Structure 1
Amino acid sequence: MAAPYVHQQSSFSEVGLAPTSELVEPAGRPSPEPVVDTSKRGHSPTVSVTSTWTTSSPASSQGSVKEKNGTQPNFGRSRVISQITWIPEIICLSIGLAAIGSVIGILAHFNDRTLPSWPYSITLNTIIALLTALANGTLAVPLSNGISQLKWDQFKKKSTPLTDMDLFDQASRGPLGAFKLIARARGRTMGSFGASITILAFALGPFSQQVATYQNRMIGTDRAAKLPVAVNYTGVLPGDSSSNGFVPILPMKAAVYNGLFAEANPLAPLTVTCETGNCTWPAVNSLAVCSTCIDVTSMMSRYCENGVPGNGNYSECGWQLPNGSKLNSSADVFSMTSMLPSPFGLLPYTTILQLFFLGTEAQSGVPLNYNPWAKQCTLEYCVQTIETAVVDGKLSQNVTTVTKNTSTVDVGTTEGTLPVSITAPNTSSSLFISEAAALGIQSWFSTLFANGSASRNSTVGTIATDQSVVVNLTVGISSGTTYFDNDIVQTFYWDYYEYTDGIGKAMTDLATAMTVAFRSFNGVNQIPGIAFGMEVHLHVRWSWIVVPVLVVFSTIIFLALVTLNACRHKVPLWKSNTLAVMFCGVGLDHDARKLFRGKQNLHERVDVAKHVRVRLDEQGNMAAT
């Protein structure tokens, strides 16, 4: 192999682009003639910037090749320069580490908390995106320069295809080149490691954004939440026309009619204050009206108004209960009998009303196919322990406990009664209804719930009165013309066929409506509750932070390995400096240069470069091997 043309090497701060006349020749040696390329006609001769000068030993400093400043090239300085000039990469790496650490710190601080309110509408996502972009940009510096430095290490250690110079440069610029380097790694473990980090770093932004999610949560606010609770009821008016001199106030009458005739929610009229639309209250005790219904069909017996027929035929007879409630004849399909408490202690003195319902047809049976039944329903004063909530503006309550006073009291006179008093559970306080209020309700109910029946007898005149209601019903098996003694009978008859346990439902609605009236008049306490408002909270999904943390620590490890490798192999710290490539190109030996002659474009030269193997020698020259 022909002797290579070698130019004098030195550090970048000391070497010009080519040897010049300012270089000092060794004493006693002829000046080298420049190599002139005259192969191209019509063009100025090209002077090669290589020469046969070599560096003499340190002992012959008098005849050695010197540069402008007269200093000798010293590659031993590259180790010191390597240790010093990694400082920019270390600074960038520190900034990237601090940025990711700040993201983690901010997320940890605001995790499960309300989103902060910052000026200029700056959001938490903006801060995370800014810090992530800062980390991405700063981490790219040690990654890019580290991969670029590895190419010099590759040429230093062994003979390497010249095209690897471009392969490493592409890998240092982005993920596409990194993929190429990994695909053609051929054992370049450190280069593949750096390329993998470069690819993974592109997931830094998306993964950082996925860490923070936002959830709507209900939290307590200082907005108003008030629940009316009845501790007593005294609503009454004097009434000379009533049986006992008292009548209910109009709001109570309206509540009773609403409970009987309105098919809407009877709890709706209750005025509850909840400014946010979502409120809760602790369990409270409130004066209320309760209803119960039981089946007493087993107590029914046949009833014949004019006695048992001589022929023993009961087909024209009706039915009755032991208390006297009856269906007069087979023509009656439904009856309602009321019983009000006596002042002589026949019923618990909290009882408001008892109703007995009898019928001859099952709810889902066949018309005129007798299947008699009977129910006893009771309306009474009570204390309810209630759990109340308003959810999305809708009121709901759950009665957890019902307390009653089952004692009977013999007043001893028909002219009065006692105040109804009930002790609330878990307290020593009593809730009560005044004597006058109880008498007013009792007096009105004795008229409102007058005994009555429903019949489908074609002879209207025999049962119709001025109060009768004639209806052509279209509900259940009761379809057809039906005659009712009053509206209340019609209501319960309709509910029986219209709803499952229709009579029980009607009694519950009546009790609820009266309870709402109790909680809407004098004697009401406003119980404070908690008004909840919707607030957005930060929820951190920590599993998504793994990739950003992995990128940072992998970059730290990669830079440490590259730094140690450069020091161990005494590789010049050229990194991605393009001037270093130019200097190395000048140092190609003569045989290698001949291979590129006649190749006019980059593509042809790249094809040749694939087969040219060079090695970085101790003087920093790229010598063909």
Structure 2
Amino acid sequence: MPPYRILRTWIWELVALILAIGLITAITVLLATYDGKQAPEWGFRLNFNALLALLSTIHRAIVVVIVSQVISQRKWEWYGGRARPLADLQLFDSGSRGSWGALLLITKVLWRDVITLTAAIVLCASFLVGPFVQQASRTSECSFPVLGLNASVPFAHYVPRSGGYYNIAESPTMEPGIPTPDIAAAILSSIMAPEGVENQISSSCSSGNCTFPDGDPEELGSGHVGDDDLASYSTVGMCNKCVDVVSLVSAEESTTTTTKDILYALPNGLNFTYDRSQIDSKVAEIWPTEDLDWMEGLFTPELKAASRWAYINATFMARARGSIEDDANLTAIMCSLYPCLRTYTVSVTNNQLDEREIRSDILRADTRGQTSNPNKFESWQSSNNPWYHYTAVKSPCRIDDGNIYDEKNMFSLPMATNMTLYSLTNATEDGQESYHYEYRNVTAPEQCIYRQNAQFVKAISTVFHNEIFVGDCNLYKGLQCYKHNYQANAGMLTDLGAGAVLRTLYNDGAVHFNDINRWFDSFTNAMTNRFRFEYGTNPFNDTIRSALLSEKGLSPSLSEDLPSGLAQGLAWRTTTCIDMHIHWLLLPVILTAVTVFLSVWTIIANWRHRHDRPVWKENILPLIFYGHRIESTNPDAFAARSPRKELADDIELTHRGSGRQPDDTSDEEERLVHKEGKLMEASEMMDISKNIPVTFRWPNGAETTSTAAPPHEKGWLRRRKPQAVEADSLLGENAASMHHGSGLSTISIDTFETDVRGEQLQEVSRPTMAYGRL
């Protein structure tokens, strides 16, 4: 006996299973591909979420179809092992058709049939596939670089590109380093409003969000701002170091009995007498100090290196209001303002510039082959050589070709520049550490070299020494602060700088070191910003070099050709992006995996019985063809509820075809006879049933047009006689009608012929149909 074609029966479910796996894979791949990216625009009014919804809906429908077939096939196994209530048949049928039926089926098969229970749970949970896929695809704001939009921030590789000092030909005194009005105005603006808008960096960012990723990389593990993947930009600037020297102040009280005054003095000679009882008493003074050896232990190597070529080393001392015996009201501070290289990380967010300084380095003198004693090197005040610069080399550094160089390989570049830097170094002799100046030869590409012209430094230093950090304050009908040696008829402008600084530092008597140090920080930040957007230019090049070598210095025509120093970046546009939450895909993936397991398990179980059990799944024809094999353990109750005669009287079969005689055996009957001992597959029953017309007789003889036989088919009408029903084994109770030898049960149906034309009732022969055993 050939086996049943199990795989062929399940072929469409297997195809659907592969499609379900492909769909959930496609959903996952789509989300992973576009995670963190802008939602694609495909046109045709189809967006990303609509595609996901479509795929998830198809996936859910496929899962439902597969598990419905599993449930339908399980109902035949449900009745095969033991007697079950006939109503379970309806529960299984409803359970394969929808969620509510599946819920009712769960209560029936709980702890009895794990496969059916799992399939019903999958069917109930399948409606969650769509919402869970939508939850897996959320949206968030994200940014993408936009080409063609401007993104730049000013930085100064070389200062100045123009202005700041007169060239020798235009100098009123024919001396180098004479300040121009523009640098004086920049200094006064930084003093009066260091946090003002006019002294802040203005970035250019077309989209409002810009980054600058092409800067110089920071050394790994630098730990400056907690990020080892930094891109930084450096600029020539101004820095400050302030030291609290109040511990070095000596206080000497007056020995006279007529006054109550005290003399405060520092080792550098700065002093004043404070007398609270006097009408005109000095309370504050600021003065330049070139030699800082008087600071003794406070004169650290860092301060020594910074102050060597500083714009100014200014000492400020003040006595706040209070008891004359209270020395806590005394403040003394020394601040060194010097050229430096300041390094930042930069970004623009929502049109707000965000700069974070990560370090600063002292600019050292580039002496260009100076051979004199380094510890006796001339001061910049007397230097008129335009080749001299304050210089710093940044390492590591990115140059134009995109390569990164550091101190180990900078010298290998063919176009590198040779320099002689005047540096402070330390040495250990006889166990004692000492510091001294020496010349150090350095070779580096121009993109890594930052310079500030010595004449520009001298111009700033001149303003600081003569106009800003030199003056004192007296209490006379209020606080009066003037430049040192101020004359009443000299005019207000001569007192503008020193007076403004002293009033700010004195702060109405609330004098504290932290406040003074904070103000100097703000002032040097403002001056650095001025260097960047007003005086800075790109790396030192042949144009600047030729201009500096000319007798007239940097001419106005050349100055106009020099571009502002700008760091170029990327403009980012904020848009909506896909944000994948993969944990929401667990349910669809689990449902798919469980569906695969249920299908494979069911197919394997059917394959094991491929010689004796066909696959019927949702087909109801087996109940008609093999209804006599349904056995009841309580036949009396069944008969009472559904009398056999009533059942028999309600069944009518009508032969189709005008050429068939009532005593002929149909092809379908022949097939049944030749299939002795073997149950038909669902497809075979379907083929046979197509040629077996039936009607259902409603009570009281009611007949609808949908159940009535067509007029041309009423020529032969077969009706079961009551005695034929007794011989029928529809309920499996009449063992006498079973043919043990053939394994078939025979249903004999006595029929009556109705002559439609003559309306005469005639008895005709009865065909015999043989059905196999269930």
Query: Shared topology, TM-score over 0.5?
Result: yes
Give the alignment partner of residue 562 of structure 1, picking from 593, 602, 625: 602
Q: What is the alpha-carbon distance in structure 2 between the residues aligned to residue 461 and residue 158 of structure 1?
A: 113
In the alignment, is residue 514 of structure 1 matched against residue 550 of structure 2? Answer: no
The one-letter amino acid paired with 1:553 is A
User: For 1:116, what is the secondary structure of its paired residue?
Assistant: coil
The one-letter amino acid paired with 1:158 is R
Deviations along 1:382-401, whole A, 9 cap, x unmatched?
33344433344223131413
- Counterparts in 2 of 1:155 and 1:373: CA distance versus 1, 3 Å: closer
Which residue is equivalent to 1:36? Answer: none
User: For 2:534, what is the secondary structure of its paired residue?
Assistant: coil
Deviations along 1:323-368, whole A, 9 cap, x unmatched?
23222332446322222769xxxx9662222322112238xx7798
In the alignment, is residue 383 of structure 1 matched against residue 337 of structure 2? Answer: no
Which residue is equivalent to 2:617? Answer: 575
In the alignment, is residue 316 of structure 1 matched against residue 261 of structure 2? Answer: yes
- Counterparts in 2 of 1:122 and 1:333: CA distance versus 1, 3 Å: farther
Q: CA deviation at 1:168?
A: 0.6
The one-letter amino acid paired with 1:207 is F
Give the alignment partner of residue 57 of structure 2, picking from 133, 139, 151: 133
> Contact between 1:174 and 1:198, CA under 8 Å: does it hold in 2?
yes
Q: CA deviation at 1:518?
A: 1.8
Q: What is the alpha-carbon distance in structure 2 between the residues aligned to residue 214 and residue 455 of structure 1?
A: 66
Q: What is the alpha-carbon distance in structure 2 between the residues aligned to residue 615 and residue 553 of structure 1?
A: 41
Q: What is the alpha-carbon distance in structure 2 between the residues aligned to residue 418 and residue 330 of structure 1?
A: 49
1:353-502 to structure 2, matched below 5 A, reads 353-361=312-320, 369-371=326-328, 372-392=330-350, 393-405=352-364, 411=378, 421-425=389-393, 426=395, 428=444, 431-449=450-468, 451-458=470-477, 466=488, 486-494=499-507, 497=510, 501-502=514-515
Q: What is the alpha-carbon distance in structure 2 between the residues aligned to residue 405 and residue 265 of structure 1?
A: 30
Gapped regions of structure 1 (runs ≥ 5): 1-75, 470-483, 600-612
- Counterparts in 2 of 1:448 and 1:253: CA distance versus 1, 3 Å: same
Q: What is the alpha-carbon distance in structure 2 between the residues aligned to residue 413 and residue 80 of structure 1?
A: 106
Q: CA deviation at 1:375?
A: 0.9
The one-letter amino acid paired with 1:440 is A
Which residue is equivalent to 1:279? Answer: 211
Which residue is equivalent to 1:225? Answer: 151
Q: What is the alpha-carbon distance in structure 1 between the residues aligned to residue 348 and residue 453 of structure 2?
A: 31
Q: What is the alpha-carbon distance in structure 2 between the residues aligned to residue 318 and residue 91 of structure 1?
A: 102
Taking structure 1 as the reference length, what is the TM-score of the superposition? 0.68
The one-letter amino acid paired with 1:422 is Y
Q: CA deviation at 1:217?
A: 4.9
Which residue is equivalent to 1:164? Answer: 88
Q: Alignment RMSD, CA only? A: 4.6
Q: CA deviation at 1:423?
A: 2.7
Deviations along 1:35-92, whole A, 9 cap, x unmatched?
xxxxxxxxxxxxxxxxxxxxxxxxxxxxxxxxxxxxxxxxx89x64765443333333
Q: What is the alpha-carbon distance in structure 2 between the residues aligned to residue 503 and residue 213 of structure 1?
A: 52
Aligned residue pairs, count: 511
Q: What is the alpha-carbon distance in structure 1 between the residues aligned to residue 289 and residue 118 of structure 2?
A: 93
> Contact between 1:316 and 1:329, CA under 8 Å: does it hold in 2?
yes
User: For 1:335, what is the secondary structure of its paired residue?
Assistant: strand
Which residue is equivalent to 2:117? Answer: 192
In the alignment, is residue 235 of structure 1 matched against residue 167 of structure 2? Answer: no
Which residue is equivalent to 1:292? Answer: 241
1:531-542 to structure 2, matched below 5 A, reads 531=570, 533=572, 534=574, 538=578, 540-542=580-582
> Contact between 1:289 and 1:514, CA under 8 Å: does it hold in 2?
yes
Deviations along 1:490-520, whole A, 9 cap, x unmatched?
1211298387711112212222222222222
Q: What is the alpha-carbon distance in structure 1 between the residues aligned to residue 616 and residue 598 of structure 2?
A: 17
The one-letter amino acid paired with 2:310 is T
Q: CA deviation at 1:542?
A: 4.1
| Comparing 370-379 and 149-158, the one that deviates more | 149-158
> Contact between 1:338 and 1:353, CA under 8 Å: does it hold in 2?
no
Which residue is equivalent to 1:548? Answer: 588
Taking structure 2 as the reference length, what is the TM-score of the superposition? 0.56
In the alignment, is residue 206 of structure 1 matched against residue 131 of structure 2? Answer: yes
Which residue is equivalent to 1:595? Answer: 641
The percentage of counterpart residues that share the same residue type is 19
User: For 1:424, what is the secondary structure of its paired residue?
Assistant: strand
More relative contact order, 1 or 2 (CA 8 Å, 6+ apart): 1
Q: What is the alpha-carbon distance in structure 2 between the residues aligned to residue 520 and residue 460 of structure 1?
A: 36
1:59-98 to structure 2, matched below 5 A, reads 80=4, 84-98=8-22
> Contact between 1:159 and 1:615, CA under 8 Å: does it hold in 2?
no
